[in-house]
């Protein structure tokens, strides 16, 4: 069995502490048997959380994953209409009108 990682230890410990406090506060039990049942349930929940934390992948597992091939570059032809430009002399022939004051 592999050794637990620090993340697994932290998640499991936090789960045990938080779930124990929550169950004790919600159940409001004061008997020794009730507290023992809650503590065991919290430990079981902490173990479950710690074991389901994803383990880091080893190099062999990382190398066995197939690498996707890149898609070929697509070139789309762009059709542009030629820009029609007015001659400069024709634009200057029209007089500029100043706005009139009311």
Residue 37: the pLDDT is 93
Cα 56 off chain centre by:
18
Kindly state the average pLDDT of the residues 68-95: 69
Residue 49 tokens, joined: 């959380």
Q: Which tops the pLDDT comparison, 66 or 51? A: 51
Please state whether the predicted TM-score (pTM) of the whole model is above 0.75: no
Residue 11 tokens, joined: 């998640």
Q: Which tops the pLDDT comparison, 39 or 90? A: 39
Residue 96 tokens, joined: 């500029």
Residue 92 tokens, joined: 């200057």
**Taking the CA of residue 76 as centre, how many other CA atoms within 13 Å lie in the half-sphere pointing to its CB?**
3
* Under 8 Å between Cβ of 12 and 42: no
Residue 1: the pLDDT is 64
């Amino acid at each position: 069995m592999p050794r637990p990682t620090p993340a697994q230890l932290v998640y499991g410990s936090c789960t045990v502490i938080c779930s124990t406090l929550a169950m004790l506060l919600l159940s409001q039990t004061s008997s020794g048997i009730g507290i023992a049942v809650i503590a065991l349930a919290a430990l079981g929940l902490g173990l479950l959380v710690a074991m389901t934390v994803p383990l880091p992948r080893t190099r062999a597992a990382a190398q066995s994953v197939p690498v996707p091939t890149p898609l070929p570059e697509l070139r789309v032809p762009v059709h542009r209409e030629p820009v029609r430009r007015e001659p400069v002399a024709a634009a200057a022939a029209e007089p500029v009108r100043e706005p009139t004051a009311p």
